[in-house]
Chain A
Amino acid sequence: MEAATATAQALRLLFSGDEELLEIIGVSLSVSLSALALAAPPALFAAYFLACRNFAGRRALLAVLQSLLSFPTVAVGLILYLLLSRRGVLGAWELLFTPAAMALGQAVIVFPILTVFALAALQKNDSRARETALTLGAGSFRAALTEIGEARFGVIAALLTGFGRAVSEVGCALMVGGNIAHYTRNITTAIALETGKGKFAEGIALGIVLVALALAASALLSLAQGAGRRE
Protein backbone atom coordinates (compact mmCIF):
# COMPACT_ATOMS: atom_id res chain seq x y z
CA MET A 1 0.00 0.00 0.00
CA GLU A 2 2.86 2.28 0.94
CA ALA A 3 4.52 1.51 -2.40
CA ALA A 4 1.30 2.35 -4.27
CA THR A 5 1.01 5.69 -2.48
CA ALA A 6 4.67 6.48 -3.17
CA THR A 7 4.24 5.59 -6.85
CA ALA A 8 1.17 7.85 -7.12
CA GLN A 9 3.16 10.66 -5.52
CA ALA A 10 6.07 9.95 -7.89
CA LEU A 11 3.81 10.25 -10.94
CA ARG A 12 2.36 13.51 -9.60
CA LEU A 13 5.92 14.80 -9.14
CA LEU A 14 6.86 13.82 -12.65
CA PHE A 15 3.87 15.42 -14.30
CA SER A 16 4.02 18.56 -12.15
CA GLY A 17 7.37 19.42 -13.78
CA ASP A 18 9.19 19.62 -10.44
CA GLU A 19 12.19 21.90 -10.99
CA GLU A 20 14.62 19.95 -8.85
CA LEU A 21 13.69 16.75 -10.62
CA LEU A 22 14.26 18.34 -14.02
CA GLU A 23 17.59 19.71 -12.84
CA ILE A 24 18.73 16.23 -11.75
CA ILE A 25 17.64 14.73 -15.08
CA GLY A 26 19.52 17.53 -16.85
CA VAL A 27 22.73 16.73 -14.94
CA SER A 28 22.40 13.05 -15.83
CA LEU A 29 21.85 13.72 -19.52
CA SER A 30 24.59 16.33 -19.87
CA VAL A 31 27.17 14.24 -17.97
CA SER A 32 26.40 11.01 -19.84
CA LEU A 33 26.28 12.66 -23.26
CA SER A 34 29.58 14.45 -22.52
CA ALA A 35 31.10 11.12 -21.49
CA LEU A 36 29.94 9.60 -24.76
CA ALA A 37 31.37 12.51 -26.77
CA LEU A 38 34.65 12.18 -24.87
CA ALA A 39 34.98 8.41 -25.28
CA ALA A 40 33.58 7.90 -28.79
CA PRO A 41 36.41 9.33 -30.97
CA PRO A 42 39.27 7.40 -29.28
CA ALA A 43 37.11 4.27 -28.98
CA LEU A 44 36.20 4.34 -32.68
CA PHE A 45 39.83 4.94 -33.58
CA ALA A 46 40.92 2.03 -31.37
CA ALA A 47 38.19 -0.22 -32.82
CA TYR A 48 39.21 0.68 -36.37
CA PHE A 49 42.87 0.08 -35.58
CA LEU A 50 42.11 -3.29 -33.99
CA ALA A 51 39.85 -4.28 -36.90
CA CYS A 52 42.39 -3.43 -39.60
CA ARG A 53 45.79 -4.11 -38.11
CA ASN A 54 47.41 -7.27 -36.91
CA PHE A 55 50.17 -6.58 -34.43
CA ALA A 56 51.94 -8.29 -31.57
CA GLY A 57 49.82 -8.10 -28.44
CA ARG A 58 46.53 -7.55 -30.30
CA ARG A 59 44.87 -10.57 -28.73
CA ALA A 60 46.08 -9.59 -25.27
CA LEU A 61 44.73 -6.08 -25.80
CA LEU A 62 41.38 -7.50 -26.89
CA ALA A 63 41.28 -9.72 -23.80
CA VAL A 64 41.97 -6.71 -21.58
CA LEU A 65 39.23 -4.67 -23.28
CA GLN A 66 36.74 -7.52 -22.95
CA SER A 67 37.52 -7.97 -19.27
CA LEU A 68 37.06 -4.22 -18.76
CA LEU A 69 33.44 -4.58 -19.94
CA SER A 70 32.54 -5.92 -16.53
CA PHE A 71 34.94 -3.74 -14.54
CA PRO A 72 33.06 -2.44 -11.45
CA THR A 73 32.14 1.22 -11.85
CA VAL A 74 32.92 1.86 -8.21
CA ALA A 75 36.49 0.68 -8.83
CA VAL A 76 36.78 3.15 -11.71
CA GLY A 77 35.44 5.79 -9.31
CA LEU A 78 38.00 4.85 -6.68
CA ILE A 79 40.95 4.99 -9.10
CA LEU A 80 39.76 8.29 -10.53
CA TYR A 81 39.18 9.66 -7.02
CA LEU A 82 42.78 8.89 -6.09
CA LEU A 83 44.05 10.46 -9.30
CA LEU A 84 41.89 13.60 -9.01
CA SER A 85 42.17 14.20 -5.27
CA ARG A 86 44.30 17.13 -4.13
CA ARG A 87 47.40 14.96 -3.66
CA GLY A 88 46.72 12.83 -6.75
CA VAL A 89 48.60 12.92 -10.03
CA LEU A 90 45.77 14.90 -11.64
CA GLY A 91 45.00 16.96 -8.53
CA ALA A 92 46.09 20.17 -10.23
CA TRP A 93 43.13 19.87 -12.60
CA GLU A 94 40.79 20.53 -9.63
CA LEU A 95 38.10 18.34 -11.13
CA LEU A 96 37.05 16.28 -8.13
CA PHE A 97 33.35 16.68 -7.23
CA THR A 98 32.52 18.36 -10.55
CA PRO A 99 30.31 17.22 -13.43
CA ALA A 100 33.50 17.09 -15.53
CA ALA A 101 34.96 14.43 -13.19
CA MET A 102 31.73 12.43 -13.50
CA ALA A 103 31.89 12.68 -17.31
CA LEU A 104 35.53 11.60 -17.24
CA GLY A 105 34.67 8.59 -15.07
CA GLN A 106 31.77 7.58 -17.28
CA ALA A 107 33.96 8.01 -20.37
CA VAL A 108 36.43 5.54 -18.85
CA ILE A 109 33.56 3.14 -18.15
CA VAL A 110 32.05 3.32 -21.66
CA PHE A 111 35.35 3.30 -23.59
CA PRO A 112 35.74 -0.52 -23.60
CA ILE A 113 32.03 -0.96 -24.41
CA LEU A 114 32.24 1.37 -27.41
CA THR A 115 35.52 -0.17 -28.59
CA VAL A 116 34.44 -3.81 -28.34
CA PHE A 117 30.98 -3.24 -29.88
CA ALA A 118 32.31 -1.01 -32.68
CA LEU A 119 35.08 -3.53 -33.35
CA ALA A 120 32.49 -6.29 -33.74
CA ALA A 121 30.63 -4.11 -36.26
CA LEU A 122 33.78 -3.12 -38.19
CA GLN A 123 35.00 -6.71 -38.41
CA LYS A 124 31.86 -7.55 -40.38
CA ASN A 125 32.79 -4.94 -43.01
CA ASP A 126 33.69 -6.11 -46.47
CA SER A 127 37.38 -5.50 -47.31
CA ARG A 128 36.24 -4.20 -50.71
CA ALA A 129 34.75 -1.14 -48.99
CA ARG A 130 38.18 0.28 -48.14
CA GLU A 131 39.66 -0.68 -51.51
CA THR A 132 36.75 0.94 -53.33
CA ALA A 133 37.09 4.13 -51.29
CA LEU A 134 40.83 4.29 -52.00
CA THR A 135 40.44 3.75 -55.73
CA LEU A 136 37.81 6.48 -55.84
CA GLY A 137 40.35 8.96 -54.52
CA ALA A 138 39.81 8.81 -50.74
CA GLY A 139 42.87 9.22 -48.54
CA SER A 140 43.54 6.76 -45.71
CA PHE A 141 41.64 8.84 -43.12
CA ARG A 142 38.65 9.41 -45.40
CA ALA A 143 38.62 5.70 -46.31
CA ALA A 144 38.56 4.88 -42.57
CA LEU A 145 35.58 7.24 -42.08
CA THR A 146 33.83 5.58 -45.01
CA GLU A 147 34.39 2.16 -43.44
CA ILE A 148 33.00 3.38 -40.13
CA GLY A 149 30.06 4.80 -42.08
CA GLU A 150 29.48 1.41 -43.68
CA ALA A 151 29.29 -0.08 -40.18
CA ARG A 152 27.12 2.80 -38.93
CA PHE A 153 24.27 0.68 -37.57
CA GLY A 154 26.67 -1.35 -35.45
CA VAL A 155 28.42 1.85 -34.35
CA ILE A 156 25.07 3.45 -33.40
CA ALA A 157 24.25 0.29 -31.43
CA ALA A 158 27.60 0.64 -29.62
CA LEU A 159 26.88 4.31 -28.79
CA LEU A 160 23.40 3.52 -27.46
CA THR A 161 24.71 0.65 -25.34
CA GLY A 162 27.42 2.96 -24.02
CA PHE A 163 24.87 5.65 -23.21
CA GLY A 164 22.71 3.14 -21.36
CA ARG A 165 25.67 2.04 -19.26
CA ALA A 166 26.80 5.62 -18.53
CA VAL A 167 23.40 6.99 -17.53
CA SER A 168 22.64 4.07 -15.22
CA GLU A 169 25.94 3.77 -13.33
CA VAL A 170 26.03 5.04 -9.77
CA GLY A 171 29.34 4.00 -8.17
CA CYS A 172 31.69 6.27 -10.09
CA ALA A 173 29.28 9.24 -10.19
CA LEU A 174 28.89 9.07 -6.41
CA MET A 175 32.63 8.84 -5.72
CA VAL A 176 33.96 11.54 -8.06
CA GLY A 177 30.80 13.68 -8.24
CA GLY A 178 30.04 13.73 -4.52
CA ASN A 179 26.25 13.97 -5.05
CA ILE A 180 26.23 17.76 -4.51
CA ALA A 181 22.73 19.24 -4.80
CA HIS A 182 22.13 21.49 -7.83
CA TYR A 183 25.61 20.61 -9.16
CA THR A 184 26.61 16.96 -9.41
CA ARG A 185 23.46 15.22 -8.24
CA ASN A 186 22.24 13.01 -11.06
CA ILE A 187 19.44 10.47 -11.35
CA THR A 188 21.26 7.48 -9.90
CA THR A 189 22.94 9.28 -6.99
CA ALA A 190 19.65 11.06 -6.18
CA ILE A 191 17.77 7.74 -6.13
CA ALA A 192 20.32 6.33 -3.69
CA LEU A 193 20.05 9.45 -1.50
CA GLU A 194 16.26 9.85 -1.51
CA THR A 195 15.67 6.15 -0.85
CA GLY A 196 18.18 6.30 2.02
CA LYS A 197 16.23 9.20 3.48
CA GLY A 198 12.97 7.30 3.12
CA LYS A 199 11.66 9.70 0.41
CA PHE A 200 10.44 6.92 -1.84
CA ALA A 201 8.27 9.10 -4.13
CA GLU A 202 11.31 11.09 -5.38
CA GLY A 203 13.29 7.84 -5.75
CA ILE A 204 10.51 6.16 -7.72
CA ALA A 205 9.97 9.22 -9.93
CA LEU A 206 13.67 9.29 -10.84
CA GLY A 207 13.65 5.50 -11.27
CA ILE A 208 10.80 5.83 -13.78
CA VAL A 209 12.83 8.42 -15.73
CA LEU A 210 15.89 6.16 -15.68
CA VAL A 211 13.90 3.16 -16.90
CA ALA A 212 12.29 5.35 -19.60
CA LEU A 213 15.75 6.47 -20.77
CA ALA A 214 17.00 2.89 -20.81
CA LEU A 215 13.91 1.77 -22.74
CA ALA A 216 14.28 4.64 -25.20
CA ALA A 217 17.93 3.67 -25.80
CA SER A 218 16.81 0.05 -26.25
CA ALA A 219 14.09 1.01 -28.73
CA LEU A 220 16.54 3.10 -30.74
CA LEU A 221 18.97 0.19 -30.65
CA SER A 222 16.32 -2.14 -32.09
CA LEU A 223 15.51 0.44 -34.76
CA ALA A 224 19.21 0.77 -35.65
CA GLN A 225 19.62 -3.01 -35.83
CA GLY A 226 16.48 -3.33 -37.92
CA ALA A 227 17.60 -0.62 -40.32
CA GLY A 228 21.01 -2.24 -40.66
CA ARG A 229 19.65 -5.64 -41.61
CA ARG A 230 20.24 -6.35 -45.28
CA GLU A 231 17.37 -7.75 -47.30
Chain B
Amino acid sequence: MNNCGENNILLFAEGLKKSFAGKTVLDIGELTVRGGESVVLSGENGSGKTTLLKILAGLLRPDSARALAFAGCERYPRGAPHSSYLHQSPYLFSASVRANVEYGLRRAGLPGEKRKQKAEDAMRWAGVLHLASARADRLSGGEQRRAALARIRALSPRLCLLDEPLAHLDEEGIKRAEELIPQLRKGGCAVVTATHKPFADATQQWRLQNGKLICEQ
Protein backbone atom coordinates (compact mmCIF):
# COMPACT_ATOMS: atom_id res chain seq x y z
CA MET B 1 0.00 0.00 0.00
CA ASN B 2 1.24 3.49 -0.73
CA ASN B 3 -0.66 6.24 1.02
CA CYS B 4 1.63 9.06 -0.07
CA GLY B 5 -0.04 11.98 -1.72
CA GLU B 6 -3.28 11.30 0.13
CA ASN B 7 -4.31 13.32 3.20
CA ASN B 8 -1.15 15.44 3.03
CA ILE B 9 0.93 12.37 3.88
CA LEU B 10 4.62 13.14 3.47
CA LEU B 11 6.20 9.98 4.73
CA PHE B 12 4.80 6.51 5.04
CA ALA B 13 6.51 3.32 6.15
CA GLU B 14 5.20 -0.13 6.84
CA GLY B 15 6.87 -3.32 8.06
CA LEU B 16 10.22 -1.66 8.63
CA LYS B 17 12.90 -3.99 9.96
CA LYS B 18 16.56 -3.44 10.74
CA SER B 19 19.04 -5.65 12.55
CA PHE B 20 22.69 -5.26 13.47
CA ALA B 21 24.81 -8.35 14.10
CA GLY B 22 21.70 -10.52 14.44
CA LYS B 23 20.05 -8.20 16.97
CA THR B 24 16.76 -6.65 15.85
CA VAL B 25 16.98 -2.92 16.39
CA LEU B 26 13.80 -1.91 14.58
CA ASP B 27 10.60 -3.84 13.90
CA ILE B 28 8.07 -1.17 13.09
CA GLY B 29 4.51 -1.91 12.00
CA GLU B 30 3.59 1.44 10.47
CA LEU B 31 4.41 5.11 10.69
CA THR B 32 3.02 8.16 8.97
CA VAL B 33 4.14 11.80 8.91
CA ARG B 34 1.97 14.51 7.42
CA GLY B 35 3.11 17.88 6.14
CA GLY B 36 3.58 20.47 8.89
CA GLU B 37 3.60 17.91 11.70
CA SER B 38 5.93 17.96 14.68
CA VAL B 39 6.84 14.43 15.71
CA VAL B 40 8.81 13.79 18.86
CA LEU B 41 10.75 10.53 18.87
CA SER B 42 11.88 9.29 22.24
CA GLY B 43 13.43 6.15 23.61
CA GLU B 44 16.31 5.05 25.75
CA ASN B 45 19.90 5.36 24.56
CA GLY B 46 20.55 2.61 22.02
CA SER B 47 16.85 2.09 21.32
CA GLY B 48 17.33 2.79 17.60
CA LYS B 49 16.32 6.45 17.28
CA THR B 50 19.31 7.39 15.14
CA THR B 51 18.90 4.23 13.03
CA LEU B 52 15.25 5.09 12.37
CA LEU B 53 16.04 8.70 11.47
CA LYS B 54 18.84 7.61 9.13
CA ILE B 55 16.51 5.15 7.40
CA LEU B 56 13.90 7.89 7.02
CA ALA B 57 16.61 10.21 5.65
CA GLY B 58 17.56 7.59 3.07
CA LEU B 59 21.05 7.18 4.54
CA LEU B 60 20.56 3.62 5.77
CA ARG B 61 18.75 0.81 4.03
CA PRO B 62 16.28 -1.20 6.11
CA ASP B 63 16.65 -4.98 5.96
CA SER B 64 13.07 -5.11 4.77
CA ALA B 65 10.12 -2.78 4.35
CA ARG B 66 6.73 -3.54 2.88
CA ALA B 67 6.42 0.15 2.10
CA LEU B 68 8.70 3.13 2.52
CA ALA B 69 7.68 6.11 0.52
CA PHE B 70 8.30 9.82 0.56
CA ALA B 71 5.85 12.33 -0.87
CA GLY B 72 4.53 10.14 -3.62
CA CYS B 73 7.84 8.55 -4.60
CA GLU B 74 7.27 4.83 -5.06
CA ARG B 75 10.76 4.06 -3.84
CA TYR B 76 12.38 6.06 -1.08
CA PRO B 77 15.39 7.72 -2.69
CA ARG B 78 18.86 7.51 -1.18
CA GLY B 79 19.84 10.89 0.23
CA ALA B 80 16.20 11.80 -0.20
CA PRO B 81 15.55 15.13 -1.87
CA HIS B 82 13.42 17.57 0.08
CA SER B 83 14.37 15.98 3.40
CA SER B 84 17.20 17.10 5.66
CA TYR B 85 18.88 15.20 8.45
CA LEU B 86 20.79 16.82 11.31
CA HIS B 87 23.31 14.65 13.16
CA GLN B 88 23.34 14.65 16.94
CA SER B 89 26.66 16.41 16.61
CA PRO B 90 26.24 18.30 13.32
CA TYR B 91 28.99 18.04 10.72
CA LEU B 92 30.05 21.30 9.17
CA PHE B 93 32.35 21.24 6.16
CA SER B 94 35.75 22.80 6.75
CA ALA B 95 34.81 26.00 4.97
CA SER B 96 33.07 29.24 5.94
CA VAL B 97 29.60 29.28 7.45
CA ARG B 98 28.38 30.93 4.24
CA ALA B 99 29.85 28.13 2.08
CA ASN B 100 28.19 25.57 4.34
CA VAL B 101 24.79 27.24 4.11
CA GLU B 102 25.16 27.64 0.34
CA TYR B 103 26.23 23.99 -0.18
CA GLY B 104 22.73 22.58 -0.61
CA LEU B 105 21.59 25.61 -2.59
CA ARG B 106 24.44 25.03 -5.05
CA ARG B 107 23.41 21.38 -5.41
CA ALA B 108 19.88 22.60 -6.12
CA GLY B 109 21.33 24.75 -8.92
CA LEU B 110 20.27 28.12 -7.51
CA PRO B 111 21.89 31.04 -9.36
CA GLY B 112 24.42 33.22 -7.53
CA GLU B 113 22.38 36.19 -6.35
CA LYS B 114 19.35 34.15 -5.33
CA ARG B 115 21.62 31.67 -3.54
CA LYS B 116 23.38 34.43 -1.65
CA GLN B 117 20.08 36.01 -0.61
CA LYS B 118 18.60 32.70 0.58
CA ALA B 119 21.75 31.87 2.53
CA GLU B 120 21.78 35.30 4.19
CA ASP B 121 18.11 35.02 5.13
CA ALA B 122 18.76 31.61 6.70
CA MET B 123 21.88 32.80 8.56
CA ARG B 124 20.00 35.87 9.85
CA TRP B 125 17.16 33.60 10.98
CA ALA B 126 19.58 31.38 12.93
CA GLY B 127 21.53 34.34 14.32
CA VAL B 128 24.81 33.42 12.63
CA LEU B 129 24.95 36.07 9.92
CA HIS B 130 27.78 37.83 11.77
CA LEU B 131 29.74 34.55 11.52
CA ALA B 132 29.22 34.15 7.75
CA SER B 133 32.93 34.39 6.94
CA ALA B 134 34.14 32.39 9.95
CA ARG B 135 35.45 28.82 9.56
CA ALA B 136 32.41 26.70 10.42
CA ASP B 137 34.38 23.87 12.01
CA ARG B 138 35.95 26.28 14.49
CA LEU B 139 32.70 27.62 15.96
CA SER B 140 31.39 26.77 19.41
CA GLY B 141 28.95 23.86 19.78
CA GLY B 142 25.90 26.13 19.97
CA GLU B 143 27.00 28.21 16.98
CA GLN B 144 27.66 25.06 14.95
CA ARG B 145 24.17 23.79 15.78
CA ARG B 146 22.63 27.08 14.63
CA ALA B 147 24.75 27.16 11.47
CA ALA B 148 23.59 23.61 10.69
CA LEU B 149 19.96 24.65 11.26
CA ALA B 150 20.52 27.62 8.93
CA ARG B 151 21.88 25.22 6.30
CA ILE B 152 18.70 23.17 6.57
CA ARG B 153 16.41 26.21 6.65
CA ALA B 154 17.99 27.61 3.47
CA LEU B 155 16.85 24.52 1.57
CA SER B 156 13.22 24.84 2.70
CA PRO B 157 12.90 21.05 2.98
CA ARG B 158 9.55 19.32 3.32
CA LEU B 159 10.84 17.07 6.09
CA CYS B 160 13.48 17.74 8.77
CA LEU B 161 14.90 14.86 10.76
CA LEU B 162 16.71 16.17 13.83
CA ASP B 163 18.76 13.82 15.98
CA GLU B 164 18.98 15.10 19.57
CA PRO B 165 19.26 18.77 18.50
CA LEU B 166 19.42 19.94 22.13
CA ALA B 167 22.14 17.56 23.26
CA HIS B 168 25.44 18.96 24.56
CA LEU B 169 24.15 22.56 24.59
CA ASP B 170 24.24 24.97 27.51
CA GLU B 171 21.01 26.58 28.76
CA GLU B 172 21.29 29.52 26.39
CA GLY B 173 21.97 27.19 23.47
CA ILE B 174 18.96 25.02 24.32
CA LYS B 175 16.74 28.12 24.59
CA ARG B 176 17.83 29.39 21.17
CA ALA B 177 17.48 25.98 19.52
CA GLU B 178 14.03 25.55 21.07
CA GLU B 179 13.01 28.86 19.52
CA LEU B 180 14.34 27.93 16.06
CA ILE B 181 13.14 24.33 15.66
CA PRO B 182 9.36 25.08 15.76
CA GLN B 183 9.93 27.79 13.16
CA LEU B 184 11.19 25.17 10.69
CA ARG B 185 7.58 23.99 10.44
CA LYS B 186 6.44 27.24 8.87
CA GLY B 187 5.50 26.62 5.27
CA GLY B 188 4.30 23.06 5.84
CA CYS B 189 7.62 21.40 6.69
CA ALA B 190 7.29 18.37 8.96
CA VAL B 191 9.84 17.97 11.73
CA VAL B 192 10.76 14.68 13.38
CA THR B 193 12.90 15.30 16.46
CA ALA B 194 14.65 12.61 18.45
CA THR B 195 14.88 14.03 21.95
CA HIS B 196 14.58 13.21 25.60
CA LYS B 197 12.93 16.58 26.25
CA PRO B 198 9.18 17.07 25.79
CA PHE B 199 8.17 19.39 22.97
CA ALA B 200 5.07 21.49 23.65
CA ASP B 201 4.00 21.69 20.00
CA ALA B 202 4.26 17.95 19.21
CA THR B 203 1.47 16.54 17.06
CA GLN B 204 2.71 12.95 17.43
CA GLN B 205 4.76 11.22 20.09
CA TRP B 206 6.75 8.21 18.96
CA ARG B 207 8.43 6.01 21.50
CA LEU B 208 10.85 3.27 20.56
CA GLN B 209 10.83 0.31 22.90
CA ASN B 210 12.48 -3.02 22.13
CA GLY B 211 12.49 -2.13 18.45
CA LYS B 212 8.74 -1.42 18.36
CA LEU B 213 7.36 2.03 17.68
CA ILE B 214 4.59 3.16 19.98
CA CYS B 215 2.73 6.07 18.37
CA GLU B 216 0.54 8.55 20.22
CA GLN B 217 -1.32 11.33 18.45
User: Does B155 sit within 8 A of A, measured CB to CB?
Assistant: yes
Chain A residues within an 8 Å CB radius of B78: 134
Chain B residues within an 8 Å CB radius of A138: 79, 103, 107
Judge whether A131 and B94 touch: CB under 8 Å. no
Chain B residues within an 8 Å CB radius of A142: 107
State the CA gap A132–B79 with chains docked (Å). Answer: 9
The interface size of chain B toward A, counting residues with CB under 8 Å, comes to 25
Q: Are A136 and B104 also in contact (CB < 8 A) when A131-B59, A231-B138 are?
A: yes
| Closest A residue, CB atoms, query B109 | A137
User: Does A169 sit within 8 A of B, measured CB to CB?
Assistant: no
Judge whether A129 and B93 touch: CB under 8 Å. yes
Chain B residues within an 8 Å CB radius of A133: 103
Chain B residues within an 8 Å CB radius of A231: 138
Give the most central of B84, B90, B93: most A CB within 10 Å: B93
State the CA gap A137–B155 with chains docked (Å). Answer: 9
State the CA gap A135–B162 with chains docked (Å). Answer: 12
State the CA gap A146–B107 with chains docked (Å). Answer: 12
State the CA gap A180–B138 with chains docked (Å). Answer: 53
Judge whether B155 and A132 touch: CB under 8 Å. no
The interface size of chain A toward B, counting residues with CB under 8 Å, comes to 19
Interface of chain B residues 93 through 127 with chain A (CB within 8 A):
93-94, 103-104, 107-108
User: Does B34 sit within 8 A of A, measured CB to CB?
Assistant: no
Chain B residues within an 8 Å CB radius of A87: none
Judge whether A131 and B91 touch: CB under 8 Å. yes
Judge whether B93 and A132 touch: CB under 8 Å. yes
Judge whether B91 and A132 touch: CB under 8 Å. yes
| Closest A residue, CB atoms, query B107 | A137
Q: Which of A132, A134, A149, A150 makes the CB contact (< 8 A) with B87?
A: A132
| Closest A residue, CB atoms, query B84 | A135
State the CA gap A58–B188 with chains docked (Å). Answer: 47
Interface of chain A residues 101 through 141 with chain B (CB within 8 A):
126, 128-129, 131-139
Closest Cβ of chain B to A137, distance in Å, is 4
Give the most central of B89, B90, B103: most A CB within 10 Å: B103
User: Does A230 sit within 8 A of B, measured CB to CB?
Assistant: yes
Chain B residues within an 8 Å CB radius of A139: 79
State the CA gap A139–B70 with chains docked (Å). Answer: 18
User: Does B137 sit within 8 A of A, measured CB to CB?
Assistant: yes
Q: Are A136 and B151 also in contact (CB < 8 A) when A142-B107, A231-B138 are?
A: yes
Q: Which of B89, B137, B138, B155 makes the CB contact (< 8 A) with A136?
A: B155
Closest Cβ of chain A to B167, distance in Å, is 15
Judge whether A131 and B87 touch: CB under 8 Å. yes
State the CA gap A149–B99 with chains docked (Å). Answer: 13
Closest Cβ of chain A to B76, distance in Å, is 13
Judge whether A128 and B91 touch: CB under 8 Å. yes
Give a binary string over B74-88; 1 marks a CB under 8 Å from any A CB, 0 the rest. Answer: 000011110111010
| Closest A residue, CB atoms, query B59 | A131
Q: Which of B57, B93, B137 makes the CB contact (< 8 A) with A135?
A: B57
Judge whether A137 and B91 touch: CB under 8 Å. no
Interface of chain B residues 31 through 81 with chain A (CB within 8 A):
54, 57-59, 78-81
Closest Cβ of chain B to A189, distance in Å, is 41
Judge whether A134 and B59 touch: CB under 8 Å. yes
Closest Cβ of chain A to B89, distance in Å, is 8
Chain B residues within an 8 Å CB radius of A131: 54, 57, 59, 85, 87, 91
Give the most central of B57, B104, B107: most A CB within 10 Å: B107
Chain A residues within an 8 Å CB radius of B79: 134-135, 137-139, 143
Q: Are A135 and B91 also in contact (CB < 8 A) when A142-B107, A230-B137, A231-B138 are?
A: no
Pick 22 A–B contacts, CB within 8 A, sort by A: A126-B91, A128-B87, A131-B54, A131-B87, A131-B91, A132-B87, A133-B103, A134-B79, A135-B57, A135-B59, A135-B79, A135-B80, A135-B85, A136-B103, A136-B155, A137-B107, A137-B108, A138-B79, A138-B103, A139-B79, A143-B79, A230-B137
Q: What 5 A-B pairs have minimum CB-CB distances, sorted nearest first?
A: A134-B79, A128-B91, A136-B104, A137-B107, A135-B85
Interface residues of A (CB under 8 A from B): 126, 128-129, 131-139, 142-143, 146, 149-150, 230-231
